[in-house]
Amino acid sequence: MLENLVSGLAFALSMDALIYCAIGVTLGTFIGMLPGIGPMAAIAMLVPLTYYVDPAVGIIMLAGIYYGAAYGGSTASILLNLPGTANTAITCLDGYPMTQQGRAGIALFMTTIASFFGSICGLVILVGFAPSLSTAVLAFGSPEYFSLVLLGLLASALAATDYPLRAVAMIVLGLLLGSVGADQNTGITRFTFDSPYLYDGFTLVAFAVGLFGIPEIISNVRTPPSRIGAKSIRLSAMLPTREDWRRSWLPMIRGTSIGAVLGALPGTGGTLATILSYSTEKRVSRRPEEFGNGAIEGVTGPESANNAAIQTAFIPTLTLGIPGDAVMALIVATLMIHGIQPGPLLVSQHPTVFWGLAASFLVGNVLLLILNIPLIGLWIRILSIPYKYLFPAIIVFVCIGAFSINTSPFDIYMVSFFGALGYGLRLLRCPPAPLLMGLILGPMLEVHLRRALQIANGDPLVFVERPISAAFLMVCVALIAAAIVRRRKPGRTFGEAKA
């Protein structure tokens, strides 16, 4: 394993990988700080760029955007009280009060340290567990995969939503959109309206950019997200006191453990981990009244949880091919575009991808440490670019990116179409992430359903007769039951009045 890690490190430190890793984390930090465009849209915009490089290098860049955005997102939370990404929303609770108390520099410094700590621990777990897990899941057959995909879809949709029914409906709509194009078995086309453009289904990038990027732009055209003013932060004001360190190290360890476990489970991910870490810190604290008023534990705990979760989320993504959230789903899809099938064979068949990626996390996190501590002032200045200049630029890049996939304007029209659809669904409070997960995992679900039933002579009981598959399905049922119970609990304001 050590020699694999060394060769991975050698790859991650090669010129190409290093440059793209740096581009990824820098862009990620930038995107994360901008509360107007999420890492999802940014990654989708950059998928076409990976066609021009080695797939491993491309994935290193995309992953860099993801964890870079986690660092940048906390900066926006602390300085602006606006979460740059959903996973850093919790950081606002105590990070922004620290800014109001003039302790912004310390909050930023400790956040970066906590994120770095969480990431590195998560990375160690990833490297330790992924290869052995790969061997374990080699025994999985189609029934197990079907149930696991179903579990991944349901868990990611139901984990942290106010609208479980809508989330499930979005998965199903996604599954349907994923079946557009030629049927995998017979080649008969479905839902293509005789258009040759739809033979391979919807172009993933156009779909993702339309669904995530365009609605963000539309909602921010007139009401630009507030930005960091002309505040400047000196390095000397960033150094935490001994007291800050003393209060932070335990929350960092607890947060990392919570994040590492939740990240590795299919479908839960960072947001839930940050919420759980925050409530844990508040419960164990001897000064719970300080939470919400600038308690450093409320910043460092969730931040390490978030970053640890991001790293361990790569375990199910790479070894099972089952992504935990929409960003991971996009990474899986990108690997498949390059002909690399994520799954139990990935580690042995594509060692450069796995070990190179793992090693690049180390490199990327060190780069982020530099970007976020000594260079923070530079970021604050860059972020003062007005949104009215930024969003036309984003639109242009989206268009060029979509065009370059197949050198065809059809994909640009698809961006328009899914942009309008995405905006409409957003107005109706439908979460877009389950839609994308459904689209990406739909073909996989269908293949395994078909194969499992074929082997079992059409008997659907096969899914409950195989113990591992039955266990996954039981968790699915439990998730649905929990969602129904939550729906029936208080908060029902006028449901009774109608009935």
Partner 1 sequence: MKPTVSRNPPDESGGEGRGANFARMENAILGLFLGLVGAGAIAEGLSLPVGSAMRMGPGYFPILIGGVLVVLGLAIALLPSRHVAAAWERADLARGAVDVLAVILAVTSFGFLVERLGLVTSIVAAVFISTAPIPAMSLRERFVLAICLAAGSYLIFVYALGVSMPGFTFNW
Options 19, 172, 237, 470; binder of partner 1; rule CB under 8 A: 172
The residue from 449, 473, 475, 483 that contacts partner 1 (CB under 8 A) is 449
d(CA 170, CA 267): 15
- 83: Cα separation from own chain's centroid: 15
Alpha-carbon dihedral sign for residues 208, 214, 215, 216: positive
By CB under 8 A, residue 392 contacts partner 1: yes
CB of 3 to partner 1, least distance (A): 35
The count of chain residues that interact with partner 1, using the rule CB under 8 A, is: 84
The answer to whether the Cα torsion of 288, 290, 292, 296 is positive or negative is negative
Report if residue 345 touches partner 1, rule: CB under 8 A: no
Which positions from 184 through 223 interact with partner 1, judged by CB under 8 A?
185-186, 188, 190-191, 212, 214, 216-223
Tokens representing residue 483 in the block: 């969602």
* In contact, 291 and 281? CB cutoff 8 Å: yes
- Cβ 413 to partner 1, closest distance in Å? 5
- Cβ atoms < 10 Å from Cβ of 354: 26
Three-state SS at 181? strand
Q: How far is the CB of 245 from partner 1 (least distance, A)?
A: 32
Cβ(220)–Cβ(210) under 8 Å? no
Residue 57's H or E segment, with its range, is: helix 55-80
DSSP letter for each residue of 146-170: HHHHHHHHHHHHHTT-S-HHHHHHH
Which is closer to partner 1, CB of 65 or CB of 106?
65
Of 221-250, binders to partner 1 (CB under 8 A) are 221-223
Can you read off the two tokens belonging to residue 346? 């990935």
Minimum distance, C-beta of residue 20 to partner 1, in the bound complex (Å): 13
CB 104 within 8 A of CB 79: yes
Piece in contact with partner 1 (CB under 8 A), picked from 58-66, 348-356, 468-476, 487-495: 487-495
Among 62, 86, 264, 340, binds partner 1 (CB under 8 A): 86
Question: Binding to partner 1 by residue 385, rule CB under 8 A?
Answer: no
428 near partner 1, judged by CB under 8 A: yes
Rounded-to-integer distance, Cα 389 and Cα 404, Å: 23
**Interface with partner 1 includes 395 (CB under 8 A)?**
yes
Of the pair 219, 352, the CB lying nearest partner 1 is at 219
Segment near partner 1 (CB under 8 A); pick from 108-116, 137-145, 165-173, 475-483: 165-173
Which of positions 12-51 make contact with partner 1 (CB under 8 A)? Answer: 35, 38-41, 49
User: Which is nearer to partner 1, 184 or 232 (by Cβ)?
Assistant: 184
Q: In the complex, what is the shortest distance from the CB of residue 451 to partner 1, in angstroms, rounded to a whole number?
A: 9
How many whole angstroms separate alpha carbon 70 and alpha carbon 39?
9
Query: Among the candidate windows 4-12, 150-158, 314-322, 407-415, which touches partner 1 by CB under 8 A?
Result: 407-415
Nearest-5° Cα angle at 298, 294 to 300: 110
In the window 99-158, what residues touch partner 1 (CB under 8 A)?
none
